[in-house]
């Protein structure tokens, strides 16, 4: 089995870039700033929630106005 192991190791070494891309694997470089990127995303959550509430309120207001206009026609 040693021959097969060394063959597979050599194959993986030669094709590592393709394997990473094909399987969509993370690399050390991808993970190096993971905590900073995660923190930045976590900081956006309250802003996005506020936007969602504001958008929902605006949509309700527009629906109410549309019903009033529809009743006038």
Yes or no: say if 19 and 25 are a contact pair by the CB < 8 Å rule.
yes
| pLDDT tens for each residue of 25-54 | 888 888 899 999 999 999 999 999 999 999
Looking at residue 2, its pLDDT comes to 72
* pTM score above 0.75: no
Yes or no: say if 19 and 12 are a contact pair by the CB < 8 Å rule.
yes
What would the two tokens of residue 31 be? 């993970």
Yes or no: say if 46 and 39 are a contact pair by the CB < 8 Å rule.
no
Decide if pLDDT at 72 tops 90.
no
Give the residue carrying structure tokens 């993970």. Answer: 31
Decide if pLDDT at 23 tops 70.
yes
Domain residue extents for the chain: 1-32, 34-73
């Amino acid at each position: 089995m040693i021959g097969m192991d060394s063959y597979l190791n050599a194959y993986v070494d030669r094709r590592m870039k393709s394997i990473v891309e094909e399987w969509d694997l993370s690399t050390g470089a991808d993970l190096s700033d993971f905590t900073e990127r995660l923190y930045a995303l976590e900081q956006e959550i309250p802003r996005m929630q506020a936007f969602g509430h504001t958008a929902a309120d605006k949509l309700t207001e527009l629906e109410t106005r549309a019903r009033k206009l529809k009743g006038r026609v």
